[in-house]
């Protein structure tokens, strides 16, 4: 069974693209995280490269290409993410396995390996996720590749904040919107995968229409409590006054001294919070610019922390930059534009 829950229309669109004589050189998958975006791209890669001759039978899940892609080992499916994948190092270049952005050295490394090695499948798929973590230099390097795309290659950018990519990059991509998935579809999907009905319902509700979270919650129900509590806290702080925010920033800075991973995880929760806000308020320009400002503040705090700026300053600045907002309650958001699958 595929790992994807929901996204019927989008999967059909990807199937159509895979069947094209000349597929687009670049795709932009725009939509909130934890919805199965990466799985969708991998499915596209199997549709391109599966050895079954009839498109209707792809993916067959049995041939070499299907198996290698499922294992993450196919030589023509290349993914860069924050860290140092594809970074060649050398020449005084410090390794950066824990970096939280996508750097120019990685984009260069990716392009180099594409030009150096012949490919074995029908179509190479290069994935950049999350594309909004590319700095300006990295983005400009990628832009040059998009202007002269390598043959039989599809570059896929994945992002929750397409607005933050360079317009020159966006305009070269076929944009595909990834929507949130209705809770009922998620609950059905979990039941089909053998989870008990009650757990499936609860995980589907707690996951706020994100199937990847729902799967994680169904497998590890404890996660629901922690995450729910943290998101609740974000929501309170986003609506609170400066004094409360500063005291929270102080706590975070204190924790940074003891456990950096914990703080970085909490920054990721903040990102999820602002992303939710972005997708709930997509029709209201003021609210989406608030959400983008929130996302940018998180990105910059992360960069400052990496650059060894005093943690307290970096975190206070982040909290000060967060706009004051109130999340629409779940009831009204259930009818937002992301509910178009059913
Ligand atoms: Zn196959
Ligand atoms: Zn590097």
48 CA distance to ligand 2 centroid (A)? 30
Alpha carbon of 51 to ligand 1 centroid (Å): 5
Q: 130-170, pLDDT tens digit by residue? A: 999 999 999 999 999 999 998 899 999 999 888 889 999 99
| Token pair for 332 | 């009204």
Higher pLDDT, 283 or 273: 273
Per-residue pLDDT band for 244 (boundaries 50, 70, 90) equals: very high
Q: What distance in angstroms lies between residue 301's CA and the mean position of ligand 2's atoms?
A: 21
Please say if the pLDDT value at position 49 is more than 90: yes
Total structural domains in the chain? 3
Contacts of 180 (CB under 8 A, 6+ apart): 31, 32, 35, 208, 209, 210, 279, 338, 339
- Å from CA of 333 to ligand 1 middle: 39
Residues 147 and 169 in one domain: yes
Ligand nearest to the CA of 54: 1
For residue 57, which of 15, 22, 99 has the smallest C-alpha distance? 15
- The pLDDT of residue 328 is 56
| Tens-digit pLDDT profile for residues 77-94 | 999 999 999 998 877 888
CA torsion angle for 75, 132, 101, 24 (degrees, to 10)? 20
CA of 71 to the centre of ligand 1 (A): 13
Measured CA to CA, the distance from residue 178 to residue 39 in angstroms comes to: 12
Q: What's the pLDDT at 87?
A: 94
* Averaged pLDDT, 254-279: 87
Q: Are residue 33 and residue 98 in the same domain, yes or no?
A: yes
Are 13 and 96 in the same domain?
Answer: yes
Separation of CA 213 and ligand 1 centre (Å): 28
Torsion sign over Cα 317, 320, 323, 328: positive
Q: Are residues 142 and 17 in the same domain?
A: yes
- What confidence score (pLDDT) does residue 1 get? 54
132 CA to centre of ligand 1 in angstroms:
32
Mean pLDDT of 281-308: 86
Judge if 142 and 198 occupy the same domain.
Answer: no
Mean pLDDT to the nearest integer, 248-262: 90
Asked if residues 214 and 34 have their Cβ atoms less than 8 Å apart, the reply is no
Among all bound ligands, the one having the nearest atom to the CA of 59 is 1
| Ligand index nearest the alpha carbon of residue 102 | 2
pLDDT at residue 338 greater than cutoff 90: no
Q: How confident is the model at residue 332 (pLDDT cuts 50, 70, 90)?
A: very low
| Final residue of a structural domain among 122, 153, 177 | 177
Distance in Å, CA 66 to ligand 1 centroid: 4
Give the model's pLDDT for residue 130. 93
Ligand nearest to the CA of 80: 2
Domain boundary among 190, 220, 250: 220
pLDDT digits (tens, 9 = 90+) for 172-209: 999 999 999 999 999 999 999 999 999 999 999 888 88
Residues 297, 317: one domain?
yes
Ligand nearest to the CA of 45: 1
**Do 323 and 304 reside in the same domain of the chain?**
yes
The pLDDT value given to residue 283: 67
Q: Which residue has the tokens 């009204």?
A: 332
Q: What is the 52 CA–ligand 1 centroid distance (Å)?
A: 6
Cα 1 to ligand 1 centroid, rounded to whole Å: 14
Distance (Å) from CA 58 to ligand 1 centroid: 6
* DSSP summary character for residue 93: B
164 with 43, same domain?
Answer: yes
Owning domain of residue 81: 8-177
Give the model's pLDDT for residue 45. Answer: 96
Ligand 2 centroid from CA 139, angstroms: 15
The CATH number of whichever domain residue 108 belongs to comes to 3.40.50.300
Same domain, 24 and 173: yes
Q: Indicate if 202 and 316 belong to the same structural domain.
A: no
- Contact status, residue 24 vs residue 17, Cβ threshold 8 Å: yes
């Amino acid at each position: 069974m595929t790992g994807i829950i929901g996204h019927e229309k989008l999967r059909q669109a990807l199937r159509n693209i895979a069947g094209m004589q000349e597929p687009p050189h670049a795709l932009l998958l725009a939509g909130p995280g934890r919805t199965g975006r990466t799985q969708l791209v991998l499915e596209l890669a199997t549709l391109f490269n599966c050895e079954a001759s009839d498109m209707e039978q792809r993916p067959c899940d049995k041939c070499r290409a299907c198996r290698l892609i499922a294992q993450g080992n196919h030589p023509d499916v290349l993914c860069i993410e924050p860290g140092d994948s594809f970074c060649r190092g050398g020449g005084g270049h410090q390794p950066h396995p824990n970096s939280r952005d996508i750097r120019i050295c990685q984009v260069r490394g990716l392009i180099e390996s594409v030009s150096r090695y012949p490919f074995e499948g029908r179509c190479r798929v290069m994935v950049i996720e999350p594309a909004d973590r590319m700095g300006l230099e990295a983005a400009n390097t990628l832009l040059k590749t998009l202007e002269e795309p390598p043959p039989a290659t599809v570059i896929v950018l994945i992002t929750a904040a397409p607005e933050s990519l360079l317009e020159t990059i966006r305009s070269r991509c076929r944009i595909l919107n990834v929507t949130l998935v209705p809770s009922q579809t998620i609950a059905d999907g979990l039941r089909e995968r053998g989870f008990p009905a009650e757990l499936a319902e609860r995980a589907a509700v707690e996951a706020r229409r994100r199937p990847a979270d729902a799967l994680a919650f169904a497998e590890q129900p404890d996660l629901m409590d922690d995450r729910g509590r943290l998101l609740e806290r974000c929501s309170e702080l986003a609506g609170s006054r400066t004094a409360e925010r500063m005291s929270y920033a102080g706590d975070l800075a204190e924790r940074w001294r003891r456990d950096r991973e914990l703080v970085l995880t909490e920054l990721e929760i903040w990102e999820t919070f602002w992303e939710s806000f972005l997708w709930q308020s997509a029709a209201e320009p003021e609210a989406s610019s608030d959400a983008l400002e929130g996302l940018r503040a998180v990105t910059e705090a992360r960069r400052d922390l990496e650059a060894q700026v005093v943690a307290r300053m970096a975190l206070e600045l982040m909290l000060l930059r967060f706009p004051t907002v109130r999340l629409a309650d779940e009831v009204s958001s259930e009818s937002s534009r992301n509910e178009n699958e059913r």
